[in-house]
């Protein structure tokens, strides 16, 4: 792989085009759509608003994959072909990692790890359906009795997939404990196909450590980017030996307001207001009074009200004109000392 991938991982209901755009602006060089049901998409009407939103890309997106999930190789092949015809996606990613019960209960997502024979047929079918690069995101296994990510990575290599991304947990673990760097490093050593790491990347230090300890060719960041698109900038700074740039309150407020406005334009006022409650909760995590702000957010029913509430916390108070005049140059001198 020519370039280290530091990308935004797919998160159902969260990583839409607005969030991905902000991640790209802060330095992400890859992103993936929210997972899209191959069966649902193939049988939906062309004007279905759900799939129109899921398949929509922002102008900032230059290297975004469509992520498909399902268990029927033929349907997945057809979905990959249709995605290729759209001429907007850089690659096709196969979801073998989603741990959600509503997905695994139908034998899809990480449940495919229990049926490696079907998993291999799915990879072959998607590869046959598109000329675009094909990748796959998976977990270490469904549980401790099915730790077959290495075998499937080797199969992906034989089939000709571009890379595999491995979340360092089993499906049974969900998000408990710590992602297993050692297990992913072992897989990386045993295959020649590029391997990306996913799991527990919340700081630039986490990213550098994961890359060093696994030897992986890149990282995908999911939960760590929630409310923190600046994480990609911080990782870039760390990789290049620069001073890490943290957002101040002014930058944080401007970014949240842009997120609100773009989401409202994309999905409408009501949906944007409801979804921004989750996003804002992440944006203000760790700030003084965050719990109180989240409580008050539930009483706010407009995006304008959300912005007004945030301004009371993040916008610096303006000094009275008389106080500014009275401080004069002496105030500036004291500050510089």
Question: Could you tell me which CATH number the domain at 5-239 has?
Answer: 3.20.20.70
Provide the pLDDT confidence category of residue 43 given band limits of 50, 70 and 90.
Answer: very high
Written as six digits, the tokens of 131 are: 């000329």
- Alpha helical stretches, state H, the chain: 17-25, 38-43, 49-54, 73-85, 101-104, 116-129, 149-159, 181-190, 204-214, 230-239, 249-267, 269-283, 290-297, 303-314, 321-336
**Does position 320 have pLDDT exceeding 90, yes or no?**
no
| pLDDT of amino acid 329 | 37
Contact 160, 180 (CB under 8 A): no
Q: Which residues are paired to 92 by β-bridges?
A: 66, 134
**How many Cα neighbours within 13 Å face the side chain of 121?**
11
What would the mean pLDDT of 247-271 be, rounded to a whole number?
96
The torsion defined by the Cα of 114, 202, 266 and 97, in degrees rounded to 10, comes to 0
Contact 78, 36 (CB under 8 A): no
DSSP 8-state symbol, 110: G
| pLDDT of amino acid 289 | 83
Which candidate, 21, 28, 22, 34, places its Cα nearest to that of 6? 28
Contact 165, 153 (CB under 8 A): no
Q: Which residues are paired to 65 by β-bridges?
A: 32, 91
Provide the pLDDT confidence category of residue 314 given band limits of 50, 70 and 90.
Answer: confident
Residue-range domain boundaries for the chain:
5-239, 249-314
| pLDDT of amino acid 46 | 87
Contact 187, 174 (CB under 8 A): no
Is the model more confident about 326 or about 57?
Answer: 57
Rounded to whole angstroms, the Cα distance separating 165 from 100 reads: 18
Written as six digits, the tokens of 41 are: 């998409």
Reply yes or no on whether 23 is catalytic: no
Instruction: Please tell me the pTM assigned to this model.
Output: 0.90
What would the mean pLDDT of 37-45 be, rounded to a whole number?
95
| pLDDT of amino acid 316 | 63
| pLDDT of amino acid 2 | 72
- In SS3 terms, 251-312 reads as HHHHHHHHHHHHHHHHHCHHHHHHHHHHHHHHHCCCCCCHHHHHHHHCCCCCHHHHHHHHHH
| pLDDT of amino acid 312 | 87
Angle at 84 between CA 81 and CA 95, to 5 degrees: 75
Provide the pLDDT confidence category of residue 120 given band limits of 50, 70 and 90.
Answer: very high
Any idea which fold 249-314 has?
A: 1.10.1200
Which candidate, 82, 107, 77, places its Cα nearest to that of 94? 77
pLDDT digits (tens, 9 = 90+) for 55-114: 999 999 999 999 999 999 999 999 999 999 999 999 999 999 999 999 999 999 999 999
**Does position 337 have pLDDT exceeding 50, yes or no?**
no
pLDDT digits (tens, 9 = 90+) for 195-216: 999 999 999 999 999 999 999 9
**Does position 147 have pLDDT exceeding 90, yes or no?**
yes
Of 98, 150, 165, 216, which one is the catalytic site residue? 98
**How many Cα neighbours within 13 Å face the side chain of 158?**
9
| pLDDT of amino acid 317 | 52
Rounded to whole angstroms, the Cα distance separating 30 from 47 reads: 28
């Amino acid at each position: 792989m020519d370039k280290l991938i530091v990308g935004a991982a797919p998160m159902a209901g969260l990583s839409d085009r607005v969030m991905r755009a902000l991640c790209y602006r802060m330095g992400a060089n890859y992103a993936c759509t929210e997972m899209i049901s191959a069966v649902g998409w193939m049988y939906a009407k062309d004007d279905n608003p759900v799939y129109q939103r899921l398949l929509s890309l922002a102008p900032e997106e230059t290297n975004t994959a469509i992520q498909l999930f399902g268990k029927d190789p033929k349907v997945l092949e057809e979905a990959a072909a249709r995605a290729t015809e759209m001429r907007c996606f850089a690659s096709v990613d196969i979801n073998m990692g989603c741990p959600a019960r509503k997905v695994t209960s139908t034998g899809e997502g990480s449940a495919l790890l229990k049926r490696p024979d079907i998993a291999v047929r799915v990879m072959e079918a998607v590869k046959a359906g598109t000329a675009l690069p094909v990748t796959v995101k998976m977990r270490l296994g469904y549980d401790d009795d099915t730790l077959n990510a290495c075998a499937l990575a080797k199969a992906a290599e034989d089939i000709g997939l571009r890379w595999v991304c491995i979340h360092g947990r089993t499906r049974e673990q969900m998000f408990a404990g710590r992602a297993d760097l050692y297990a992913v490093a072992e897989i990386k050593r045993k295959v020649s196909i590029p391997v990306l790491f996913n799991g527990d990347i919340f700081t630039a230090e986490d990213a550098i450590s994961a890359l060093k300890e696994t030897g992986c060719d890149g990282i995908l960041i999911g939960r760590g980017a929630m409310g923190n698109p600046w994480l990609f900038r911080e990782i870039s700074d760390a990789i290049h030996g620069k001073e890490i740039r943290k957002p101040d309150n002014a930058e944080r407020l401007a970014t949240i307001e842009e997120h609100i406005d773009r989401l409202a334009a994309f999905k409408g006022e009501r949906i944007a207001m409801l979804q921004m409650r989750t996003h804002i909760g992440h944006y203000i995590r760790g700030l003084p009074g965050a719990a109180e702000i989240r409580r008050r957010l539930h009483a706010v029913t407009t995006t304008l009200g959300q912005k007004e509430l945030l301004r009371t916390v993040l916008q610096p108070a303006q000094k009275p004109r008389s106080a500014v005049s009275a401080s004069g140059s002496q105030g500036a001198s004291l500050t510089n000392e």
